[in-house]
Amino acid sequence: MITLKDSSERTLKYLQEFGVLHVEEAKELEPVDKKAIERDRNRVRKALTSIHEILINLAEERTVILPEDMKLQSLDEIADQVDKFNDRFSKLTGKTANLIEETANLEKLGKYLGLLTREISMPLKDMQYSGSYLFTDVLAFPEETYKMFSERANQYLLQDIAVPVEGEVAVYFIARAENRKAIESIIRDLGAITFKIPDEELKLREFISENDETILKGKESIQKFQKEIQKIIEENLDQIVFFREVLAAENERLSVLEQACEARYVTLTEGWVPQSNVNIVTSRLKETSDYIFVDTKRPDPMDRPPTKLQNPPGIRPFQVIVSLFSLPKYGDWDPTPIVAYFFAFFFGLMLNDAVYAIGLILLARFLLSKLVDDPTSEEFHLFRNVLYISGGASLILGLLSGTYLGDFLKMYFNIELKNIALVTHVQKHLSDPISFIILSLIIGLVHVNASHILALIRGIKERDKGLVLGKIGLFLLQIFGIPYIFKVLLHVELFQLSAGVYAALIYPLFFGLSLVVISRFMQMGALGGIFWIFELTGILGDIMSYSRLAGVGLATFYLASSFNLLADWVSSSLSNFIPGIVGFIIAFVVAIIMLVIFHVFNLLLSSLAAFIHSLRLCFVEFLLKFYEGGGEKYAPFHLRLRKRVLAGTKS
């Protein structure tokens, strides 16, 4: 945006109120930039000229409706594409123009030379002969002009044959080479019609007899080329017109910038605006002042716009989790959806208690706002929603497994967990350590391989052959290596296969291993000879890391059970030490106090552990495999009014 300094305050106030412009530093235009602007303008003008020459060949007027989602490219890319298209187009139009010229010449020759066949019978090349002593030529004049030619050139001509044709005269003459300049001067003065006669041995009569067919073929070829030209223009018309509009806008922008770099009383503001707000911002800005230039364009490949994440309401809170790692760059894939699903599931597995889940949701609702400086910020609301969703996942799993404050109901009311679990199968797997660990490792196998699949997709997209080979090799090692290792080392058959099939697994296993080794060499050079082993141990370590799901989940349950047992032991001891109703009341109160303190402590400790370990699994074991991040947060320039503001010495 370029505006007069007198108007800049009003326009900036509007931008602040609207709150969509992410402001970037607008650098001063140095002399070197001015040269770059002039260079870009020349290139734009050249491209616009090429497009104009293409469009004037369109057979009929057309209305083009440009799609809104047309992909924008950089100026260099557009100019290169226009140059390539113009080269292809110019070759076709050049061939067509040459063919039209040749056909017109043949028609002219047929008209004038056809009459000369009555008087002349010689090869075509002799009709325009040029030698050391003699030269010949064929001309045509209006009848009156021919008389003047005959009078002025007669002294130089050795022989001339004239044949009248429709008020004109076709002339063939022979003259001395020494008189050529004089004769050509007369021809120029009188404006004679000249011919371009083919330099062939073909006799004149033979040429005339074949000329009509040659002309017909030439016209057919012209029509064919013209149809091909129209077809090419029609197929690319939308893109050509789109390029013209983009280049015209770019030419206007460069023109203003070229003038602005000489001005002393203008303000230049640059920034990024969401595409959905472009039209309204542009129109409103132009209403703020009569002297303002607003230019909008999509990012060039070298630009680094800020990142504005756009996710559905149920997933949006987990943008906070991704931001803790790193925001995606503009245009990169946003991992928030897949992180949201896994993070909430991991958290629920590790907390896995209906009462603790309700307690976490209540703490997030009523206590969390007291622990932060600005509870009105968007980040706070998103983080609290993360706790709500994660607590909800924990509540669901707690209800499915029948877990309420550990084994509280069993210890105090003798109610078995399997009797109150909504799904007995879930309760069985989450209460048995071995089953829980196996389930955690299976989850790890799925989660880690999901990250490797995404890394493979990224490698294919970026054409990183080393990465692609490594991931394919890793998948082969897992698909064929896991059943083979279980069979050979542990004597456990994961699949009902014959001994011959198990023996054959060794071949794809070694092929996958070879791909991993080759990949390491391609990516790391000589060091790949050592580091390929870490690719194998790394995936094993990554999968084993998911045993923390069972570790934290079981620790939450057993710690709760231990607190229940401790409270029961203390209350029983007090009841035995102080007999009667007084002892019972004291024991009951002490037990309640101990249970509340211990379980609140376990709730906080387990929630913190579940949050931290879910972060680790999503960050270290997952995102690091394929995700780079490095984006800048979209932070629009806006006027922010807080509902509550602290004032006074403590503020």
List, for residues 383-412, the tens digit of each pLDDT value.
999 999 999 999 999 999 999 999 999 888
Query: CA 193, CA 196: separation in Å to the nearest integer?
Result: 10
Helices 336-351 and 354-366, packing angle to 10 deg: 120
| 364 pLDDT more than 90 | yes
Task: Name the band, by pLDDT with cuts 50, 70 and 90, for residue 337.
Answer: very high
Other beta carbons within 10 Å of 443: 19
Tell me how many helices (H) and strands (E) the chain has: 22, 9
Task: Name the band, by pLDDT with cuts 50, 70 and 90, for residue 103.
Answer: confident
User: Which token pair is 280?
Assistant: 């309204």
Mean pLDDT within 527-540: 78
Percent pLDDT > 90 in the chain is 24
Q: How far is CA 170 from CA 142, 143, 144, 153, 179, in A?
A: 9, 9, 13, 15, 21
List, for residues 626-635, the tens digit of each pLDDT value.
888 888 888 8
The residue to which tokens 């050249």 are assigned? 46
What number of residues does the chain have? 651
Please say whether the beta carbons of 492 and 483 come within 8 A: no
List, for residues 121-160, the tens digit of each pLDDT value.
788 888 888 888 999 988 888 888 888 888 888 888 888 8
| 548 pLDDT more than 80 | yes
Q: Among 206-210, 362-366, 409-413, whose mean pLDDT is lowest?
A: 206-210
Q: What is the mean pLDDT of the chain?
A: 83
Query: CA 164, CA 22: separation in Å to the nearest integer?
Result: 82
Q: What is the DSSP code string of 288-302?
A: H-SSEE----PPPTT
Query: What does the buried/exposed string (b/e) look like for 72-106 if buried means 16 or more CB atoms within 10 Å of the residue's CB?
Result: ebebeebbebbeebbeebeeebeebeebbebbebb
Please say whether the beta carbons of 520 and 531 come within 8 A: yes
Contacts of 227 (CB under 8 A, 6+ apart): none
User: Which token pair is 469?
Assistant: 């080979």
For residue 426, the one-letter residue type is: V
Q: What is the 3-class SS of 65-131, one letter each residue?
A: CCCCCCCCCCHHHHHHHHHHHHHHHHHHHHHHHHHHHHHHHHHHHHHHHHHHCCCCCCEHHHCCCEC
Other beta carbons within 10 Å of 312: 9
